[in-house]
């Protein structure tokens, strides 16, 4: 249907507080005025936002990484990704940094693949996934990994195989699922040249 799009809106809020603030994220608690005039408490995660990279090689394979994610007690196959934890940083620059640090790769061409909120009922996290093509190995020394990244595994997997595994319930990371299905839709539609440029504005995380 023509004219379908999300619209920014903000309901009245009272008694807002931040009872917890961790190293990266926090929890915000607010009383929000409902349409019938009543007030309801809404608690949600404060998040700086993230970027991810769907890196596609000349053979149609997607660069994937597997690492441990403690909250869900799984090793998940994912896309290179990271936090927007540098104030004012251009999301494209953050994505290029993550591709270098996690996969020691660089890309000759970048586009915006898709933007989404990971869990809008309980978090304000916004994610931008970039499509990176014309891949090559990065120059210089490899980034020194820390924490969970010490055991990262890398694999290049055909896009069609990833789609099959997503639909079979074998892959669960939201950026991987969203990115692979968005890429498949783009290829079946107007093609990659119709995607937004890498510097397209992002209302959720202006820069």
Task: Concatenate the DSSP letters of all residues of the chain into one string.
Answer: -TT---------EEEEEEEEE-SS-EEEEEEEE-TTS-EEEEEEEE---EEEEEEB-TTSEEEEEEEEEGGGTEEEEE-SEEE--STT--HHHHHHHHHHHHH-EEEEEEEEEEEEES-TTTB--EEEEEEEEEEEEPSSSPP---GGGGG-EEEEEEHHHHHHHHHTT----HHHHHHHHHHHHHHHTT-GGGSEETT---TTS--
**Structural contact between residues 162 and 62, judged by C-beta atoms closer than 8 angstroms:** yes
Q: State the catalytic residues.
A: 149
């Amino acid at each position: 249907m023509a004219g379908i799009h999300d619209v920014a809106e903000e309901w009245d809020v009272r008694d807002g507080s931040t009872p917890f603030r961790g190293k990266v994220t926090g929890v915000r608690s607010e009383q929000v005025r409902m349409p019938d005039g009543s007030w309801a408490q809404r608690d949600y995660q404060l998040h700086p936002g993230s970027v991810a990279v769907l890196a596609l090689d000349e053979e149609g394979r997607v660069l994937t990484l597997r690492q441990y994610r403690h909250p869900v007690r799984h090793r998940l196959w994912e896309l290179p990704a990271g936090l927007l934890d540098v104030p004012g940083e251009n999301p494209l620059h953050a994505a290029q940094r993550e591709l270098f640090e996690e996969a020691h790769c660089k890309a000759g061409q970048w586009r915006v693949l898709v933007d989404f909120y990971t869990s809008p009922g309980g978090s304000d996290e916004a994610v931008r996934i970039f499509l990176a093509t014309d891949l090559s190995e990065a120059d210089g020394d490899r980034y020194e990994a820390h924490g969970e990244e010490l055991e990262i595994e890398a694999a290049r997997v055909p896009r069609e195989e990833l789609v099959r595994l997503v639909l079979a319930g074998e892959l669960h990371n939201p950026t991987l699922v969203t990115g692979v299905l968005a890429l498949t839709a783009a290829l079946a539609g107007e093609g990659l040249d119709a995607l937004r440029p890498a510097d397209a504005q992002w209302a959720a995380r202006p820069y």
